[in-house]
Amino acid sequence: MATVTFDHVWKKFGDVVAVNDLNLEIQDGEFMVLVGPSGCGKTTSLRMIAGLEEISDGSLRIGDRVVNNVPPKDRDIAMVFQSYALYPHMTVRDNLAFGLKLRKTPKADIDKRVQEAAAMLSLENLLNRKPRELSGGQRQRVALGRAIVREPAVFLMDEPLSNLDAKLRVQTRAEIARLHQRLKVTTVYVTHDQVEAMTMGQRIAVMSEARLQQVGTPQSLYDHPANRFVAGFIGSPSMNFMNVTASGTGDSVVLRNDAIEVTLPEPFRGRLPASGNVVLGIRPEHLAMSGASAAGTLKGGADVVEYLGNEELIHVNAAGQDIVAVIGSEHRIRPGDQLNLQVPLEKVHLFDPESGVSLSPMAGQAAG
């Protein structure tokens, strides 16, 4: 068991910066998800923990030990690869035991640990098979088992579910979560899928363009995104953004564009940029049907309606902008319908149009 600490860590490949001044502390026993679009530096960060990638600058600690120059085998970590990376010519048993054999673990001990891991992952009947005789899900479990038998201080997982089909992915997601609850080993989990991140992570670190954007619990990222990138990346379908202009003073500041007119929510008072231009963000699931064209509503025509069963995903054309709303399917909205969508003021996010930073006083607290 150990903490993992990035202290001003940089990674450069030639002139390309892959990880830009990363500061992140992963607690002992925590399940931390690194999430972001491809090329954001999340896998590189994970590989730096593993020791498979050298650190260009800064220091990386596992526990109290600076591991910048410690080879992978001495870091007390185990890794699950996206491709599983099972040794093709070895049986499942040998795959599980390989790392222990290299560490000169006594034979009896190896057998015991392999049996335990196999039981935990229901691999007992597969121990004498070779990887090519296993299904994708089984290979995935062997890869997990290979990490478990090592009893490492830190588990590293690099998109372990991305080669599984949708159903198996949901199952394995729960299985990994259960394993973590049982073993309570510090786990760093890399994914590009925000749903995986939200469902599995105790805390999530969102990365984009080599930089850490925000760290926090799934809820704090959802409720208080620190910037426009996090707001758009976390949550599905993703948040709607509209450019609006503030007018008026004091208590009666109004944000408006051609499709919307809302009063400035209280927490944002006095926090708007001098230009008065801001980006308003509202999540699709927070928009609600409203009867009249009252104040605080968004007006537009339904463009495309995607029926999902209990609800409908509606693309609304609001003054030329595509706005997505999730509405209960009992409303039976059809393409072409004119809609008034209620914008709940307490759920509105505002961002600086230049920097994309959230203007909410709460966002600052959630970050870090």
Partner 1 sequence: MSRPRGAAGRGSPPGEPRLVGFLYVLPALAAFAVFGVWPLLQTILFSTWKWKGIGTPEPVGLENYVDVLGDPDIYTAFLRSLVLVVFAAILPVCIGLLLAALLSRVRIRGMGTYRVLLFLPQTIAMVVVAIAWGWIYSRDGIVNEILRTVGLGGVARAWLGDFDLALPAIGLIGTWLNSGLCMVLFVAGVQKIPIDLYDAARVDGAGPWSEFRAVTLPGLRNEVIVALTLTVIFALRNFDLIWITTGGGPGDATTTPSILLYHFGFEARRLGTGSAIAVVMTVVILVVSVILVRLGERGDEGVAR
Question: Where on the chain is the footprint of partner 1 (CB under 8 A)?
Answer: 47, 50-52, 71-73, 77-79, 81-83, 85-91, 98-99, 102-103, 128-130, 132-133, 146, 150
∠ Cα 74 79 81 (to 5°): 145
CB of 91 to partner 1, least distance (A): 6
Distances (CA, A) of 47 to 41, 57, 199, 298: 10, 15, 23, 46
CB of 85 to partner 1, least distance (A): 4
Distances (CA, A) of 247 to 105, 113, 299, 347: 72, 68, 19, 21
- Among residues 157 and 260, whose Cβ is nearest to partner 1? 157
Encoded tokens for 226: 């620190």
* DSSP per residue, 251-290: GG-EEE-SSBEEEPPGGGTT-S-TT-EEEEEE-GGG-EE-
| Strands, sheet with 57-62, edge to edge from the N-terminal-most edge strand | 16-26, 4-13, 57-62, 65-66
Diameter of the chain measured on Cα atoms: 78
CB of 130 to partner 1, least distance (A): 4
Distance in angstroms between the alpha carbons of the first and the last residue of the chain? 23
CB of 234 to partner 1, least distance (A): 29
- Among residues 104 and 182, whose Cβ is nearest to partner 1? 104
- Among residues 98 and 340, whose Cβ is nearest to partner 1? 98
- Among residues 129 and 211, whose Cβ is nearest to partner 1? 129
CB of 181 to partner 1, least distance (A): 24
- Among residues 100 and 242, whose Cβ is nearest to partner 1? 100
CB of 25 to partner 1, least distance (A): 23
CB of 161 to partner 1, least distance (A): 16
- Among residues 188 and 262, whose Cβ is nearest to partner 1? 188
- Among residues 39 and 237, whose Cβ is nearest to partner 1? 39
CB of 291 to partner 1, least distance (A): 58
For residue 127, the 8-state DSSP code is T
Measured distance CA(149)–CA(93) in Å, rounded: 11
Distances (CA, A) of 357 to 186, 230, 257, 266, 306: 31, 10, 21, 18, 32
SS3 232: helix
- Among residues 21 and 94, whose Cβ is nearest to partner 1? 94
Measured distance CA(136)–CA(172) in Å, rounded: 11
- Among residues 77 and 234, whose Cβ is nearest to partner 1? 77
| Sign, Cα dihedral of 248, 251, 252, 257 | positive
CB of 54 to partner 1, least distance (A): 13
Residue at token pair 């390989």: 98
Q: Residues near 295 by Cβ (< 8 Å), separated by ≥ 6?
A: 261, 262, 263
